[in-house]
Amino acid sequence: MRPPVTMPMSPQPQETIANAAGATSMAPLLTGDEILYLDGVTVSFDGFRALNELSLIVEADALRAMIGPNGAGKTTMMDVITGKTKPDRGEVKFRGNVDLLRYDEAQIALLGIGRKFQKPSVFEGHSVFENLELAMAGSRGVWYSLFSRLNGEQRDRIDAQLEAVGLLDQRHGNAGALSHGQKQWLEISMLLMQEPELLMLDEPVAGMTDSETERTAELLHEIAKTHAVIVVEHDMEFVRALDCRVTVLHEGSVIAEGDMDAVQNNERVIEVYLGR
């Protein structure tokens, strides 16, 4: 059961908001189609600002790439969205009216936000099919899965998901025997079995072959037809293959947004990446 939704927030015009330090930030313009809204989010660790008045909007059923040099704040941003880190100040809203700052990590996962870390995390001692069965159990837990039987509809759903990622022929094989790329696809499938509305992936193609990388771009385009997807990535060729809106972070703030050509030709982005 999802936690109750409280504190409704209606779409509002762009406005200047004063923060606790007396500075001002421009609140993003809301249209009503947003699944994720961050405004003025600031996180400091021992005096270092990992996020600095970060403002961001992600639309529902959108594919978004997030790039930036090391230390730009990408991981901290995901930590804040998933409840692992609480910001010093700012707003973090999900589906328009859900204040994510009121919930912990487990509750936020139940709300419909899935996160995949860079290294694949699958149950290598179980079959590929069993991995999705365990993931589908959700809050029912592993104990429930081990002592319950799937109905035909549930089996069909698992098979359909495996077919979508090209793992149907490996359904009875051991997950530990899959290639690195296949394990990444399996973990993405495990997240999808939990029916998230927003999926966040951290460097999903790291360590993949060229063919696996190409297949992953195709897969994420399919997923983005029914889910919002945020991809944090360093591989610029992969980001170009995603052919989506790109957000560039630097020192905890957004410095550019647009398609890949636009951000690559942005003077500020060139300065950050090339050190000019």
Chain-centroid distance, C-alpha 53: 20
Q: pLDDT tens for residues 159-186?
A: 999 999 999 999 999 999 999 999 999 9
- 140's CB contacts (< 8 A; 6+ apart) are 148
pLDDT over 80 (residue 9):
no
Q: pLDDT tens for residues 68-126?
A: 999 999 999 999 999 999 999 999 999 988 999 999 999 999 999 999 998 888 999 99
Query: What sign does the CA torsion over 13, 16, 21, 23 have?
Result: positive
Amino acid symbol at 197: E
Listed range (132-146, 176-190, 254-268) with the worst mean pLDDT: 132-146
Predicted local confidence at residue 137, as pLDDT: 60
Angle between helices 152-164 and 180-193 (to 10 degrees): 140
- 107's CB contacts (< 8 A; 6+ apart) are 3, 83
pLDDT over 70 (residue 30):
no
Predicted local confidence at residue 273, as pLDDT: 81
Adjacency order of strands within the sheet including 228-232: 113-116, 198-202, 228-232, 63-67, 245-250, 253-258
pLDDT level of residue 144 (50, 70, 90 thresholds):
low
pTM of the predicted model, to two decimals?
0.83
Rounded percentage of the chain residues whose pLDDT exceeds 70: 83
Q: pLDDT tens for residues 189-223?
A: 999 999 999 999 999 999 999 999 999 999 999 99
Give 21 or 56, the one with higher predicted confidence: 56
Predicted local confidence at residue 47, as pLDDT: 87
Predicted local confidence at residue 32, as pLDDT: 62
Tokens of 143: 């104990």
Predicted local confidence at residue 52, as pLDDT: 97
Predicted local confidence at residue 127, as pLDDT: 96
Predicted local confidence at residue 19, as pLDDT: 35
pLDDT level of residue 7 (50, 70, 90 thresholds):
very low
Q: Are 195 and 138 in contact (CB under 8 A)?
A: no
pLDDT level of residue 33 (50, 70, 90 thresholds):
confident
User: For the chain, what is the mean pLDDT?
Assistant: 86
Q: Where in the chain is the domain with CATH 3.40.50.300?
A: 16-122+178-274
Separation between Cα atoms, residue 101 and residue 99, nearest integer Å:
5
Give 150 or 35, the one with higher predicted confidence: 35
pLDDT over 50 (residue 27):
yes
Angle between helices 128-137 and 180-193 (to 10 degrees): 30
Separation between Cα atoms, residue 191 and residue 185, nearest integer Å:
10
The domain 16-122+178-274 is classified under which CATH number: 3.40.50.1110, 3.20.20.100, 2.170.120.20, 3.40.50.300?
3.40.50.300
